Amino acid sequence: MFDVLVYLYENYWRPDACPDHAQLTRKLSAMGFESDEIEEALTWLDGLATAAESYVGEQLPDSLRVYSVAEQEHLGEDSIGFVSFLESAGVLPPSMREMVIDRATAIPGGPVDLEDLKIIVLMVFWSLGEEPDALILDELFVAEEDRLIH
């Protein structure tokens, strides 16, 4: 599923630039993606659209997030730490944080792999038509072992 999401991010500026589900399914199939992977990604994206409608503007800028036990178990320590890092850096406002948490908890299994969470964060920005700044893109794309320390 995450490969499909990355493909969509790289090939479509915004969700509204994507063709309808039937045409997109055909295009993704032609690109070599499996049908169950495509269906899972499109269902997940529908949930992202719903989350975007319901969370934007609901949270106060200085709100505090307390994770339930179920969320802690599903997200895992690394993912919660990364979300907190993005919040403290001022790039993930509370409404987007809630979208990230909603979409991460929609992923079966757990805890959510940190690399998968980074794709989820990227897709939340994409769904809102926002592009994260260069430093955040670096954090989302460059593997930690490949970073240069100055």
Tens digit of each residue's pLDDT (9 = 90 or more) over 90-116: 888 888 999 999 999 999 887 999 999
Across the chain, mean pLDDT equals 85
Contacts of 144 (CB under 8 A, 6+ apart): none
The three-class DSSP label of residue 139 is helix
Q: Is the pLDDT of residue 65 over 50?
A: yes
Best CA proximity match to 14, nearest among 127, 132, 104: 127
Average pLDDT, integer, range 66-82:
94
Q: Is the pLDDT of residue 37 over 60?
A: yes
Can you give the pTM of this predicted structure?
0.83
State how far the alpha carbon of 77 is from the alpha carbons of 52, 84, 98, in Å: 25, 10, 17
Backbone angles phi, psi at 99, to 5 degrees: -65, -45
Instruction: Report the domain count for the chain.
Output: 1
**What whole-number percentage of the chain has pLDDT above 90?**
52
Residues recorded for the chain = 150
Residue 63 structural domain? 2-146
